[in-house]
Structure 1
Amino acid sequence: MIAFLKLSPVFLMAGLMIASNLGTLGLDILQIAPIAVVYAAIIAALTEKVKFGDLVDSAVNNVKEMQLVFFILMLAYAMAESFMSTGVGAAIINLALGLGISAKTVAVTSFIIAAILSVATGTSWGTFAACAPIFLWLNHIVGGNPVITVCAIAGGACFGDNIGLISDTTVVSSGIQGVQVVDRVRSQGPWSLCCLVLAAVCFLVVSMGMPGEVGNAADAINQIPKEVYDALAIERPSAVELLSQVKNGVPMFMIVPLILVLITAIKGVPTLACLGVGLISSLIFGLFAGTVTSIHEFLDNMMTGFADAGSWVIVMMMWVGAFGGIMSKMHAFKPLSDFIAKTAKSVRQLMFANGILSLVGNAALADEMAQIVTIGPIIKNLTDENVEAKPEDMYKLKLRNATFSDALGVFGSQLIPWHVYIGFYVGIANAVYPLYNFVSFDLIRYNFMAITAVVSILLLTLTGWDRFVPLFKLPSEPDVSLKKRA
């Protein structure tokens, strides 16, 4: 009974999130998280007799560990705004559109472009809002299937959110597990690319029987009604600017800032420096291209990015971080951790259980960031306390845990009908393309990227087949072992 009481704050948060996403309550995570924090504090005081001051210290200390992440997130959001307003995103899209698109290729093209753009901007929501108006209307012109195309955009948008060096989920999940973002990206890169290629093949296969006439982006953008522009301006104003740039064209050298960010990241340059390179280079090249008319305008875009991060993501992370600190103080997840530790017969089974726990936590909390900051510390402790290994092997296990938190948060969200991700995507899709009434399950039906990523990472971890994927192999026994078997 005590163990259930200690876990009840999670059930409260999950219930409120699910009810809100299904339209029953209509509460935001910024309302739900404080409620959950207060309730968790009450339960901690009742079950563990923890003093109020100690609860505050636990909550604040947990949030303090995220300080560097907050700075990274602010710069990441600023760079996302910069890339969409200075022409970097438009240059990427126009490069692909210049190759010619038909109903057979609109889905796979939108998938690849969304994947590249999401890596460049670090935001899946911004990428989806930017790409949906272009490719859904282009899909309309060439006679494609809107459900397949919207799933392709969603899957591609989440690719960079999972592996992008400036993605908030990548940064936070890596920070919680104590690994470098660059190391995380390198280790999971081959697996992520394999999932990308397999999903692209699936989109090509399901589009085989469609018309082969080539369409063009300018025609698609010209058909977007004014009310759609108005709705998009509210949801993502920078996407409106991107649409204009795609229509009117930008110099192709605006791709250079993206290339510079990728090069510095591959070279192992710290994340803050990579973000700085992206911001400065987009400003310089934007001034030459004419997409930036003044430094003041550019700074306004940076401020918008800071405001977006500070008004929702960072505040939400602070509340959920406080929630996690209180839950840890009363050892709320110890019974669950003990169960996994007792039932796991090998390190691989333990790691597989960590993956399942991340996926279930995402479904329960209906928010991938809430899952990352709540479940992330649990799977970290499970590994640290139950596995014996050399430091380099333990680091590999931490990398996998970080990938679990992120991949099963971001991609798992696209397979959960009541998730905030799905709600946002459905809202954007219906706003920018009112000719079709999208519902939650439409975003799941052909989401080959999410299905491939979620199924493969769990299967590869459990079976040991990850040894066939370069850099992705987990250390095997006896190099690593469960402490109870040591």
Structure 2
Amino acid sequence: MDNQQGKLVALLPLVVFILLFLGSGMITGDFYSMPILVAIIIAAIVALVMNRKETFSIKIERFASGAGNPDIMIMVFIFILAGAFSSAADGMGAVDSTVNLALSALPENLLIVGLFIIGAFISLSMGTSTGTIAALAPIGVGISGETDISLALSMATIIGGAMFGDNLSFISDTTIAAVRTQKTKMKDKFRVNFFIVLPAAIITVIILFILTFGNESTVTSEAYNWLKVIPYIGVLIAALVGMNVFIVLIGGIILTGIIGMSDGSYSLTKFFGAITDGITGMAEIVILTLLIGGVVELIRYNGGIQYLLELTTKKIRSKKGAEFAIAGLVSSTNLSTANNTISIITTGPLARELSESYKIDKRKSASILDIFSCSVQGIIPYGAQALIAAEVAGISPVSLIPYGYYPILIAICGAIAIWINYPRFSKD
């Protein structure tokens, strides 16, 4: 029988996980010096040795039931298919063609604005901010080299565009995690989320236009192939019309294979190899998801989730207060783990409890989780996004912070949406 009384000590595994990951980064200056898998395994061991009233075998079974929760397993399957699609599309040149297509359509004096828009489209299509940054960062460096636009502004702009798609893409792991933990539908969450962050994107474009107006360059795009862009467009359209995410991703993989083999980019064996690479590339997030599912289940059973509920709801008097609590929880967790997906998976169950207690629409709670986690992830200088961009540009990741317009603005828009109770659902 579950423990109904909240217990602070039950949160020890989570505290251990955060201290190992964050503490090692603060000590070494490298927030990836402690492998996150090692940190969560140690946290899992701590969770398993707690609660001596239970036998170790029972605790293992409970851990396994948490890791094998249907929501967790569906998330894992989606991660696998998303990885396969992204790798297969990238392997046939879809990313390069998409980038070059966009560059060829942009006026020279709107290159920085264009970088943001291109990053938004690619990340929305690929579902990965780090992949988008890796593809666009060299182009951003080239633009800065041909103009007087600073490298920091160029790289931060790419990160902003990448976080747009990370927050909204149907195949982004953050979207998948937010939707699954809150038990809502992707298309419904997208509609709510999109209109909350749209003003942030528009204001970002205006700011970038003002900052770089009059700059011209000799940067030229290379050849592109319309056919190679079709898989991204197809996945985007299919997802927007509400097709099941499994069908969308499987269809995208098949379409990518057909186009890739028809134009000679792939042989059948190379296509299968790209799919395999994409699946294995998702191994870490899959293992993390399973282990966190098990740890969270033990924390819940031992009274940790109940304690957090009691703590966070103690001074909450309204639905608005509960929504701000969800935003604060996911933001603080993201600051600690430097991983927006993990922060959503970790705080998702608690957010769902708060939503049910205070009658928050599931679409809104999923959007809050995704918006605020992506905001923090796009700003912190020790996140993967900033580290990749800074490494390519040869600059300090700290220099990117003043130009993080979009990540900052989506947090502001998210806070305003909570404050004014936007959007208003029919049952409100």
TM norm. shorter chain > 0.5 = yes
**Deviation per residue, 1:409-429 (Å, 9 max, x gap):** 2222223344xxx2x234423
Task: Give the ranges of 4+ consecutive aligned residues of structure 1 lying more than 4 Å apart after TM superposition.
Answer: none
Q: Which residue of the partner structure matches residue 287 of structure 2?
A: 315
Is 1:257 aligned to residue 221 of structure 2?
no
Mapped contact 2:322–2:358 kept (Cα < 8 A): no
Q: Which residue of the partner structure matches residue 347 of structure 1?
A: 319
Is 1:197 aligned to residue 205 of structure 2?
no
| Residue 153 (structure 1) aligned to one of 155, 158, 175 | 158
Q: Which residue of the partner structure matches residue 438 of structure 1?
A: 396
Q: Could you tell me how far apart the structure 2 residues matched to 1:118 and 1:473 are?
A: 28
Q: Which residue of the partner structure matches residue 213 of structure 1?
A: 217
Mapped contact 1:250–1:289 kept (Cα < 8 A): no
Q: Could you tell me how far apart the structure 1 residues matched to 2:78 and 2:346 are?
A: 20
Structure-to-structure mapping, 1:158-307, within 5 angstroms: 158-208=163-213, 211-217=215-221, 247=222, 249-290=223-264, 292-307=265-280
Q: Could you tell me how far apart the structure 2 residues matched to 1:450 and 1:187 are?
A: 18
Q: Which residue of the partner structure matches residue 3 of structure 2?
A: none
| Residue 369 (structure 1) aligned to one of 334, 337, 341 | 341
Q: Could you tell me how far apart the structure 2 residues matched to 1:430 and 1:462 are?
A: 35
Is 1:447 aligned to residue 412 of structure 2?
no
Q: Could you tell me how far apart the structure 2 residues matched to 1:23 and 1:216 are?
A: 44
**Gap change, CA 1:357 and 1:428, over 3 Å in 2:** closer
Report the Cα offset of residue 314 of structure 1.
Answer: 0.4
Report the Cα offset of residue 430 of structure 1.
Answer: 4.2
Q: Could you tell me how far apart the structure 2 residues matched to 1:431 and 1:362 are?
A: 22
Structure-to-structure mapping, 1:18-97, within 5 angstroms: 18-22=22-26, 24=28, 26-42=33-49, 44-46=50-52, 49-65=53-69, 66-97=72-103
CA RMSD, Structure 1 to Structure 2 (Å): 2.1
**Gap change, CA 1:17 and 1:80, over 3 Å in 2:** same
Aligned residue type for 1:251: N
Q: Tell me the SS of whatever aligns to 1:50.
A: coil
Mapped contact 2:13–2:47 kept (Cα < 8 A): yes
| Residue 14 (structure 1) aligned to one of 9, 14, 18 | 18
Q: Could you tell me how far apart the structure 2 residues matched to 1:425 and 1:371 are?
A: 15
Report the Cα offset of residue 316 of structure 1.
Answer: 1.4
Mapped contact 2:122–2:165 kept (Cα < 8 A): yes
**Deviation per residue, 1:356-393 (Å, 9 max, x gap):** 22212222333222211211101111222x235xxxxx
Q: Could you tell me how far apart the structure 2 residues matched to 1:372 and 1:473 are?
A: 24
Q: Tell me the SS of whatever aligns to 2:282.
A: helix
Q: Tell me the SS of whatever aligns to 1:143.
A: coil
Q: Tell me the SS of whatever aligns to 1:343.
A: coil
**Residue identity (%):** 23
Mapped contact 1:106–1:135 kept (Cα < 8 A): no
**Deviation per residue, 1:437-457 (Å, 9 max, x gap):** 222x22322111110111211
**Gap change, CA 1:474 and 1:140, over 3 Å in 2:** farther
**Gap change, CA 1:321 and 1:375, over 3 Å in 2:** same
Q: TM-score, normalised by structure 1?
A: 0.81
Is 1:460 aligned to residue 410 of structure 2?
no
Report the Cα offset of residue 33 of structure 1.
Answer: 0.3
Report the Cα offset of residue 145 of structure 1.
Answer: 1.2
**Deviation per residue, 1:1-34 (Å, 9 max, x gap):** x944223322221121113334628211011000
Aligned residue type for 1:413: Q
Q: Which structure 2 segments of 5+ residues have no match? A: 1-5
Mapped contact 2:380–2:386 kept (Cα < 8 A): no
Report the Cα offset of residue 287 of structure 1.
Answer: 3.0
Report the Cα offset of residue 303 of structure 1.
Answer: 0.6
Is 1:473 aligned to residue 424 of structure 2?
yes
Q: Tell me the SS of whatever aligns to 2:51.
A: helix
Q: Could you tell me how far apart the structure 2 residues matched to 1:474 and 1:19 are?
A: 42
**Gap change, CA 1:445 and 1:347, over 3 Å in 2:** same
**Deviation per residue, 1:230-249 (Å, 9 max, x gap):** xxxxxxxxxxxxxxxxx4x2
Q: Tell me the SS of whatever aligns to 1:45.
A: coil
Aligned residue type for 1:163: L
Aligned residue type for 1:387: Y
Q: TM-score, normalised by structure 2?
A: 0.91
Report the Cα offset of residue 101 of structure 1.
Answer: 5.3
Q: Which residue of the partner structure matches residue 387 of structure 1?
A: 358
Q: How many residues align?
A: 418
Aligned residue type for 2:410: A
Aligned residue type for 1:40: A
Q: Which structure 1 segments of 5+ residues have no match? A: 218-246, 389-393, 467-471, 481-486
**Deviation per residue, 1:141-168 (Å, 9 max, x gap):** 2332111111111111121111111111
Q: Tell me the SS of whatever aligns to 2:304.
A: coil
Is 1:107 aligned to residue 112 of structure 2?
yes
**Gap change, CA 1:6 and 1:128, over 3 Å in 2:** same
**Deviation per residue, 1:62-106 (Å, 9 max, x gap):** 22121121111111011111222222222221122113554x533
